[in-house]
Amino acid sequence: MTLPRPTLLIVHGLPASGKTTLAKWLAQQLGWPAIYKDEVKEILFDTIGWKDRAFSRMLGAATIEVLFYVVNMQLVAGVSCLAECNFKPELASPTLRDILTSANAHSIQVLCRADGLVRLRRFQARARHPGHSDGEISDALAEEWRAESLAPLDIDGPLIEVDTTDLGALNYDELLRQVQAHLS
């Protein structure tokens, strides 16, 4: 039996760029299983505890490895899925290329981009699990973080860049149409 070629829909962007909001909506619309980095990380916090920002970053790296494992298992089984994460392209691209090749899968990446001041306000206003240690981010680091930009992942497949500065004004149906057009 030949399985259909699965697709990995990657929703990524900088912290507080709206990627989780967008990913959850897309996963629901597509009816696909999804893995969200922070949800896995928070399960780990609740299981093993947390300490400080350094520990959170270390656990974040482990969480991404778990995400890669789950995505690979889905794709090898012929199941299309969605992965949401703030991937660092230089670190994640080689692993994602290997996963896509070994699973003979397609990819579509949705890169969320939002104004730095908006992202900073969202970041400061959100209430996340205390294990993330968001309160330890200094004003100096926040300034640097606010000015960041993120390159697309270096993987084959279409790239859809989305301005998520105003999530209320985003044309979700048009985004879904673009994703579905790349699925056909």
Domain boundaries, the chain: 7-183
Please compute Rg for the chain using Cα positions.
16
What mean pLDDT do residues 54-63 have? 91
| Inter-residue contact 109 to 152 (CB < 8 Å) | yes
Please write the tens of the pLDDT for every residue from 90-128: 999 999 999 999 999 999 999 999 988 888 888 878 777
Please write the tens of the pLDDT for every residue from 70-79: 999 999 999 9
Q: What is the pLDDT of residue 146?
A: 65
| Inter-residue contact 99 to 157 (CB < 8 Å) | no
Q: How far apart are CA 3 and CA 111, in angstroms?
A: 28
HSE on the CB side for 178, CA within 13 Å? 15
- Mean confidence (pLDDT) of the chain: 91
What the block records as the tokens of 18 is 């709206």
Out of 1.10.3720.10, 3.40.190.10, 3.40.50.300, 3.40.640.10, the CATH code matching 7-183 is: 3.40.50.300
Q: Per-residue pLDDT for 147 more than 80? A: no
- Phi-psi label, residue 133: left if phi above 0, alpha if psi -120 to 50, beta otherwise: left
Q: What is the pLDDT of residue 179?
A: 98
What mean pLDDT do residues 152-170 have? 96
Range among 41-50, 119-128, 138-147, 165-174 rated most confident: 165-174
Q: What is the pLDDT of residue 104?
A: 96
β-pair partners for 112: 13, 162
What mean pLDDT do residues 7-14 have? 96
